[in-house]
Amino acid sequence: WITYLLMVFYHGGASVSFESANHIETGLAACRITSNGVDVTYKEIQDWRQIMPWIKGGLVPSLKDEDQRQVLVGFVRVKQKRGQVNATCDLSEDLRTIYGVGCFPEDGKGISTFGPERKWYELKDPAFTSTSAAWGTFEFWIEANRSTSVINTRLDTLIDEGWIDLATQEVNIEGLYLNVEEHVYSHFGIDFKIHREGF
């Protein structure tokens, strides 16, 4: 399941609020990546492997509004909820031959870290440390005021180290825009709900 949320805070005319929200939604809906030879928007993503490439190739280039009507305030937060990977499943031999991987129960409680093993002298990446160990949630922030190459290097690292994988159950992307002409704040959110059987 994919949901899209856009909240607008404004004191005054509704038409200006709608135009600001529509401008952001239209811009995000136009963000496309090519996946398996097909152009894909966030609404058409069908596989967890498409999420990070869409963030990198679709979302990041759209964060800077060329006409400067909408300005991103602060950062974009990308958050995920993870389940536990349980290698011991109660599966019949027939099912085990089909699925072949560990179980992914819905309960992510107790997951505090995941990701690649680091040497004792290497810094731990905060994106792989839970923001809430009770619920297995992890997040990273996109600093839109940095250069696209710096942002893409960070995203490439997260992709290479498997920040989103089969244990990911939800991914939430959210940010806040300001319409500098009309003084309207617009909060956007995109939610990806990942089920074992697909989106």
110 CB neighbour count, 10 Å cutoff = 11
Give the model confidence (pLDDT) of 37-78 as tens digits: 778 888 888 888 899 999 998 899 888 766 667 888 889 999
How many of the other CB atoms lie within 10 Å of CB of 18?
Answer: 13
- Answer whether residue 106 shows pLDDT above 80: no
pLDDT at residue 7 tops 60: no
CA distance 57 to 151: 11
State the Cα–Cα distance between residues 21 and 9, nearest whole angstrom: 10
